Amino acid sequence: MVLCPPRRRSLFRQGCHEGRSIRSYAARQLARDVVARGWADACEVRVAYAIGVAEPVAISFETFGTTAGASPGEQYAALGIDIATLLRPGRIMERLGLTQPIFRKAAAFGHFGPSTYPWETPLTS
């Protein structure tokens, strides 16, 4: 769990496998973006992928009853942001700069927390 400013938090839970993947970074960024935009006070993003398919087969947002208006999925659609396209592996790697290794910093301070990591910053529209 990551605590954001008071009363605002975004949750992150790794799915069915051990380790970190580019998709978990993207889900974390999306959850933090929902909270940063003020659409909810808490957000958990669930993304399901099928083997051999680039786009996710399911995307859901859990806001624990803290949504301020429409669901985050509807709000992204209203802004013209296609979440499924954002969550394609190639787009994630490009957006988060994952082709540039930061092994030393990540090994010393962990993968989550420091705001210098691209997945810790909200999306820009």
Q: List the chain residues with pLDDT less than 50.
A: 1-20
pLDDT digit string, tens, across residues 16-46: 333 347 788 888 889 989 999 999 999 999 9
Residue ranges of domains in the chain, CATH in brackets: 2-104 (3.30.300.10)
Which residues have C-beta within 8 Å of that of residue 73, sequence separation ≥ 6? 59, 60, 61, 83
For residue 30, give the H/E element and its range: helix 22-36
Query: How confident is the model at residue 7, as a pLDDT?
Result: 43
Do residues 79 and 57 touch, judged by C-beta distance below 8 A?
no
Share of the chain above pLDDT 70, in %: 70
Query: How confident is the model at residue 3, as a pLDDT?
Result: 33
Query: How confident is the model at residue 103, as a pLDDT?
Result: 63
Query: How confident is the model at residue 71, as a pLDDT?
Result: 92
Query: How confident is the model at residue 112, as a pLDDT?
Result: 60
